[in-house]
Amino acid sequence: MFLRKYPLRFAVVCIVLFIGFAYSVGFLIFIQIFRADFLSNLAQRQHEHSVVLEPRRGTIYDRNMRALAINLPVYSVYANARAMEQEHDEDEVASKLSAILKIDPKVIIDKLQKDKYFVWIGRKIPDEAYQQIRDLKLPGIGFIKESKRYYPNQILASHLIGFAGLDNNGLDGLERDYDKYLKGQPGHAIILRDACSRELMFDKGYVPPVDGFSVVLTIDETIQYIAERALDRMYKKYNCKGASIIVMDPRTGEILAFANRPTYNLEDVSHSTPESRTDRAIVFTYEPGSVFKIVTASAALQEGVVKETDMINCEHGAYRVANHILHDHEPLGTISFKQVIEQSSNIGTTKVAQRLGPTRFYAYAHGFRFGMRTGIDLPGEALGILKPVSQWSKTSIGAIPIGQEVTVTPIQLMGAISAIANGGIYMRPFVVKYVKDADGQIIFEHTPQALARVISPRTDLRVKAILKGVVDEGTGTKAQIPGVTVAGKTGTAQKVVSGIYSHSHFYATFVGFAPVDNPRLAAVVVFDDPRPVYYGGSVSAPVFAEVIGDSLKYLNAQGPSGPDGDTVGVDD
């Protein structure tokens, strides 16, 4: 009866129901077929959280396995903004976190308003801050355990070690250069969460991280401290612009101490400057002055153009070379060649270099690896400048043999004086002994490497005797060490300012080794623009004496250590 009375209304209802049913079926089919992956992934993201498991960065040790750079466990704090249901929660959380983390509350609020399941609030926070935040039990706030690079000695060997960033990526120094060994391989895991985003358990895909390898250096922490203490004291005393010191075992090429000034704190890199981070010992080039006379003396004795007792007229302090008048720091008359080097006479040295001639002198300077890299296992080493003979002027024979018109790095001077200490054999300097894994297996190692013989053993003994005289009774008397025989050479070089040699700005240098008969340590000490005293014998030599003297006492107290002292040989 009803259907007959309202057939149109009934038809409309049926059509609407059919359309609704068809739409629902179609929408379900659409969801099942076309939206299934999207919705499945959405649900997975809501209930599963992928976490990168950070590996432990490898430790950097000194030669005696004392840690110079380590990783310590710390916590990082994150927020799940979607777990904060009300706006006042965000304000309250931001206010409390700001007070603990010392972060602007507006910055925290901006992060909380991103409507994400995960956003960092603070990375690798102090343990005290972690405990305070944990005790507050703030909604939507969680923690992830990470590790942070820590440098227990702060400024010690900072230019050598370098530093790693927040994500444990090496950014400078050995931290950067050996990052592929130190960093390790990250792992990952999937964590299940309930409807309130609370973490429940590991679910699947757990891949453990692989910790980084450890790097063992040739550096001795104690000798490094001794060197930095002495360098820093003189650097401040004479208001220097910069300074460098290197201590090396001349028998093996192992660097035992390596420091520069200005320096910086590895625990507070943000307050450092590019200048304070500059590794002057390998990238800074300068005219060395009279320390370069060790090359002239070695070449002249090896070639037989002069003997130690030969008398040389030093012209009472003035000598013409081409159109240039060469001067000594004090007028000298006729003295022996041994005294020429002991008293650091520019004129006497030049006269001997003239007997050698440019070609032979250049060959020996090049043989001592000036104008080329030493081969040290550090990047960025500067070449310095040693002009080929074809580029010499008429006055070059009176300049280069006394350390002008040539530029060097402190590490090049270190290599040269160590070759003389080592019987005439040039050893490649190096700072990394080996890299090892967690089980103590050696991944690779550096071993002492002889690069060349620069002078014969007989000539070497003669040069050693002359350099011993420099310290005993010449310009290097302040390098004397009680009870220890010392050999060395001073250098005081005028800086080039606006294209001319300055009479008020200098480099002060001392290179040397001890004991003379069986050299165990060699060192180079360089100061940039010391004031008011600027002579290498007055500024650099005392630092050498303190560092080598204290280091020898320390090594003797330790007993036999390291290489047995046998010289690594090469073909004569």
422-451, pLDDT tens digit by residue? 999 999 999 999 999 988 899 999 999 999
Phi, psi of 481 (to 5 degrees): -125, 120
pLDDT for residue 281 is more than 80: yes
Residue with the larger pLDDT of the pair 510 and 56: 510
Task: Give the per-residue pLDDT at 202.
Answer: 47
Is residue 567 very low, low, confident or very high in pLDDT (cuts 50, 70, 90)?
A: very low
Q: CB 568: neighbour CB atoms within 10 A? A: 17
Task: Point out which residues pair with 48 in neighbouring strands.
Answer: 192
Average pLDDT of the segment spanning 492-517: 92
Q: CB 51: neighbour CB atoms within 10 A? A: 15
**Separation between Cα atoms, residue 249 and residue 230, nearest integer Å:** 19
Task: Give the per-residue pLDDT at 42.
Answer: 55
Average pLDDT of the segment spanning 454-481: 96
Task: Give the per-residue pLDDT at 101.
Answer: 77
pLDDT for residue 270 is more than 80: yes
Q: What is the mean pLDDT of the chain?
A: 86
Owner of token pair 């990238």: 283
Q: CB 33: neighbour CB atoms within 10 A? A: 9
Token duo for residue 84: 């904060």
Nearest to 459 by CA among 213, 294, 232: 294
What whole-number percentage of the chain has pLDDT above 70? 87
pLDDT for residue 565 is more than 50: no
**Separation between Cα atoms, residue 291 and residue 492, nearest integer Å:** 8
Q: What's the CATH class of domain 221-558? A: alpha beta
CATH superfamily, domain at 50-84+118-217: Penicillin-binding protein 2a (Domain 2) (3.90.1310.10)
pLDDT for residue 562 is more than 50: no
Domain spans of the chain?
50-84+118-217, 221-558
**Separation between Cα atoms, residue 248 and residue 222, nearest integer Å:** 14
DSSP state, 170? B
pLDDT for residue 566 is more than 50: no
Q: What is the DSSP string of 465-484?
A: HHHHHHHHHSTTGGG-BTTB
pLDDT for residue 570 is more than 70: no
15-67, pLDDT tens digit by residue? 888 787 877 777 777 767 766 666 566 555 555 556 667 788 899 999 999 99
383-392, pLDDT tens digit by residue? 999 999 999 9
Is residue 116 very low, low, confident or very high in pLDDT (cuts 50, 70, 90)?
A: low
Is residue 211 very low, low, confident or very high in pLDDT (cuts 50, 70, 90)?
A: confident
Is residue 195 very low, low, confident or very high in pLDDT (cuts 50, 70, 90)?
A: low
Is residue 563 very low, low, confident or very high in pLDDT (cuts 50, 70, 90)?
A: very low
Does the reported pTM lie above 0.95?
A: no
